[in-house]
Every structure is written in C-alpha cells, then in structure tokens.
C-alpha cells in the first residue's frame, strides 16, 4: 500500500512542477516541452492506476495519448513562429 501512496505523491509533485513550468515558461518551446512532460506524467499515472486496480481496459488510452501527443508536438514544432521578446528586437531584424 505504501508503494501506491508514494507513487501517487511523486506523480502529483511531478504534475505540479510541470504545470508551474508551463505557466512560467518564457518561450513557447518551454511550454511545449512542459505540455509533453505533463502528458507523459498523465500516462504514467494511468499506467500506475492500471497496475493498482489490475484493470487493463484503461491502457488503450495510453496508446491514444501517445499518438495524439506525438502528432501535436511535431505540428507545433514545425509550424511555430519564433519568439521575439520585445519590439526593439523586431525592428533590428528588419
């Protein structure tokens, strides 16, 4: 029982730290990595729940999350606009 409690606490702390990084990230790539990490933590939580409850029906959602996250990350990385901190840098580039 202590193992499940420890796993839940660690996953909750990881999700909290990741959400903090997502809110405070200065660039869109920081936020993208934080979102990928949050989905990975969620997938770990689903896997932990499947092991705890001995119910494998929730594992189908792991495959769906993995595929959707991969496609989303590749799309954002491909089509994102570079971050420019302020207007002074924009005028220097032109």
Q: Could you tell me the sign of the dihedral formed by the alpha carbons of 33, 34, 37, 42, in that order? A: negative
d(CA 46, CA 44): 5
Q: Could you tell me the sign of the dihedral formed by the alpha carbons of 55, 59, 60, 61, in that order? A: positive
The pTM of the whole model exceeds 0.85: no
Report pLDDT for 74. 84
pLDDT at 90 > cutoff 70: no
Lowest mean pLDDT among 21-30, 31-40, 71-80: 71-80
Query: pLDDT tens-digit profile of 4-14?
Result: 999 999 999 99
Percent above pLDDT 90 for the chain = 50
Mean pLDDT of the region 11-22: 94
């Amino acid at each position: 029982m202590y193992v499940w409690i420890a796993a839940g606490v660690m996953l909750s702390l990881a999700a909290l730290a990741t959400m903090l990084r997502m809110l405070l990230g200065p660039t869109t790539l920081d936020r993208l990595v934080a979102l990928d990490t949050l989905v990975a933590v969620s997938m770990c939580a689903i896997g932990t729940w499947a092991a705890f409850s001995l119910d494998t029906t929730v594992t189908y959602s792991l495959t769906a999350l993995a595929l959707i996250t991969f496609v989303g990350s590749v799309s954002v990385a491909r089509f994102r606009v570079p971050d420019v901190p302020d207007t002074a840098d924009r005028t220097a580039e032109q």
